[in-house]
Amino acid sequence: MDFRREPCLDKEPSKNRFLIVSLNPTYQVIVGYGRLNEGHVNRTDRWCNGFSGKGFNVARKLADLGARAVLLTHMNPARIEECRTEARALGFEVDCVSDPSPIRTCVTILQNRRRGSSKEKCTIPFDVSESMTTTELVENSPPIEGDDTQAKVLGEYERLLDASDCVIITGTRSFGYDSNIYANMTAMARRAEKYTILDIKGQDLLRCLSNEEKLLPNLIKPNMEEFLQTFGCEEDPVAVLERLNCNAVITNGSKGCFVYDSKSREGLVHIGSLRVKPHNTTGCGDAFTAGLAYSLMRGCALLAACHEGAMAGAAKAQEKPI
């Protein structure tokens, strides 16, 4: 294992307050199969459902770690109380701005890695103790419909910002929001001297990075695919990161992550992953974000915080969701 870190064990538990912004609410259905037979009816008695999405996942893991977290999102009024109830049961709060648009539903299909012969047409029972593959069926989010939804979201954001120490903006925004909303939120957080982490990609991320230097995020956390989509693959990534004037953590699934500390001369540092038997890899990157943010706010150095993030992601991969 090639973890490079300073000890984080002597740090006190974080008493900081986390504000998570995710403008793409999601409801998730998880189903498990021993093997999925394409072109046939596939029945299972192993399934579960509930609210999800990047923001919900980050807030849930922060609550698991003992942090105080609030998620800001929009939500169809018919689902607001259901969402709040589920969040409270998990240990965090959700501030839902009412919007008539429906919530999207995404499906996660879990299959055991040992599936038998593809020629077998009989159903293979799902074994929750075995290692699994994860297949995501992702529905694009519908656009917001309320004329004043964005204004209300920004109003709630400004109110919640005063009571927060760390802001995490994560996930793709729904259509209908202004293209600069994440950049404006980042600037507001930095003016208020809040530690700001962005787990976003593409033009949304580039707009945030075009803010004046004192209003840049403290840290960006795309995964490798998102980093390449955003910055391209023709230029040396270190040269790209040196221009950003902020720290960066680029996760790469089971291959670990790359860490760039803008105040260090080490360049891009690789941190290996923990080897575990995965049951469900959905949300592992979000768990990493939560562990990283929680540890940074405890006062851990960046490399040490990335180690804690990796452990949080590995723990999530080993959860048995159904």
Residue 9 lies in a domain: no
Residue 70 lies in a domain: yes
Structure confidence at residue 35 as a pLDDT band (50, 70, 90): confident
Q: Which of 48, 153, 151 is nearest to 94 (CA)?
A: 153
Do 262 and 247 contact (CB within 8 A), yes or no?
A: yes
DSSP assignment string, 136-155: EE-PPPPPP--TTHHHHHHH
Q: Which of 70, 11, 7 is nearest to 297 (CA)?
A: 11
Structure confidence at residue 113 as a pLDDT band (50, 70, 90): confident
pLDDT at 120 over 50: yes
138-193 residue pLDDT tens: 999 999 999 999 999 999 999 999 999 999 999 999 999 999 999 999 999 999 99
Cα 56 versus chain centre, distance: 8
Encode burial over 226-265: b for 16+ CB neighbours within 10 A, e otherwise. bbeebbeeeeebeebbeebebbbbbbbeeebbbbbbeeee
Say how far apart CA 320 and CA 211 lie, in whole Å: 42
Q: Is the pTM here over 0.75, yes or no? A: yes
Query: What is the number of domains present in the chain?
Result: 1
pLDDT of residue 4: 41
The CATH number for 298's domain is 3.40.1190.20
Q: Which of 312, 248, 321, 305 is nearest to 285 (CA)?
A: 312
What the block records as the tokens of 110 is 């879990």
What the block records as the tokens of 213 is 């230097």
Residue 42 lies in a domain: yes
Residue 7 lies in a domain: no
Question: What is the span of the domain harbouring residue 156?
Answer: 17-317
Residue 1 lies in a domain: no
Cβ contacts of 302 within 8 Å, gap of 6 or more = 247, 249, 259, 261, 296
286-301 residue pLDDT tens: 999 999 999 999 999 9
The residue whose two tokens read 């077998």 is 120
